């Protein structure tokens, strides 16, 4: 059997483990990044929603919360995508190929974070009265309410966007995966 044929049929368990670890790390990084912004933008949101009335440094606590929730979401979503890649490719997909999907998932989730924040600002602007009644702890002042809306909407955008991105990436990976070409036996 030629070297090329053996390489095309070899499994890559290290690539599958690397993909899983990368997915969890990506979740933690996105949670840290987005909550670093959100915790500074609207501490009122975290005090109301997380009931952090006695927390002195909300920005720092929200960063830790973002990492924690990012790890959890990253673990769950990474498990789904890693299983899809592992089963579809029979564990033969190089990390470079699956990693490209992972980066696209992260970019999509980050885009949805921004879109969710903007949509929530739009909703709060359209009807401040509705927004204050639909969500708890919304500040009365318009600027604080809009910052609060951004944070709530962006968190939902990140979470739902990440889920949707993993599902779409899984379907696309299944549709596009082609095993490495087998070389002619020498």
Q: Is residue 182 part of a domain?
A: no
Residue 183 lies in a domain: no
> What pLDDT sits at residue 10?
86
Write the CA distances from 125 to 111, 114, 150, integer angstroms: 21, 16, 11
Q: Does the residue 80 lie in any domain?
A: yes
With respect to residue 98, please indicate whether it lies within any of the assigned structural domains: yes
Q: Is there a domain that residue 53 lies in?
A: yes
Classify residue 132 as exposed, middle or buried by CB count within 10 Å of its CB (0-12, 13-18, 19+): middle
8 pLDDT band (50/70/90 cuts)? low
Range of the domain at 105: 3-176
* pLDDT at residue 3 tops 60: no
Domain count within the chain = 1
Q: Is residue 47 part of a domain?
A: yes
pLDDT single digits (tens) 54-85? 999 999 999 999 999 999 999 999 999 999 99
For residues 139-166, average pLDDT: 97
Closest CA relative to residue 136, chosen from 149, 119, 154: 149
181 within domain boundaries: no
Decide: pTM greater than 0.75: yes
CA 169/CA 102 separation, integer angstroms: 8
């Amino acid at each position: 059997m030629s070297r090329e044929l053996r390489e095309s049929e070899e499994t890559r368990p290290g690539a599958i483990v690397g993909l899983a670890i990368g997915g969890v790390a990506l979740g933690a990084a996105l949670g840290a990044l987005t909550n670093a912004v959100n915790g500074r933008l609207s501490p009122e949101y975290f005090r109301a929603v997380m009931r952090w009335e006695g927390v002195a440094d909300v920005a720092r606590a929200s960063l830790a919360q973002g990492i924690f929730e990012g790890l959890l979401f990253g673990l769950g979503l990474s498990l789904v995508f890693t299983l899809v890649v592992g089963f579809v490719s029979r564990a033969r997909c190089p990390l470079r190929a699956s990693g490209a999907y992972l980066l696209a998932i992260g970019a999509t989730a980050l885009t949805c974070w921004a879109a969710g924040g903007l949509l929530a600002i739009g909703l709060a602007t359209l009807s401040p009265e509705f927004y204050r009644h639909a969500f708890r702890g919304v500040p009365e002042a318009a600027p604080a309410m809009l910052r609060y809306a951004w944070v709530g909407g962006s968190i939902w955008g990140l979470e739902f966007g990440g889920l949707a991105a993993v599902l779409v990436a899984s379907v696309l990976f299944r549709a596009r995966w082609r095993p490495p070409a087998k070389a002619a036996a020498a």
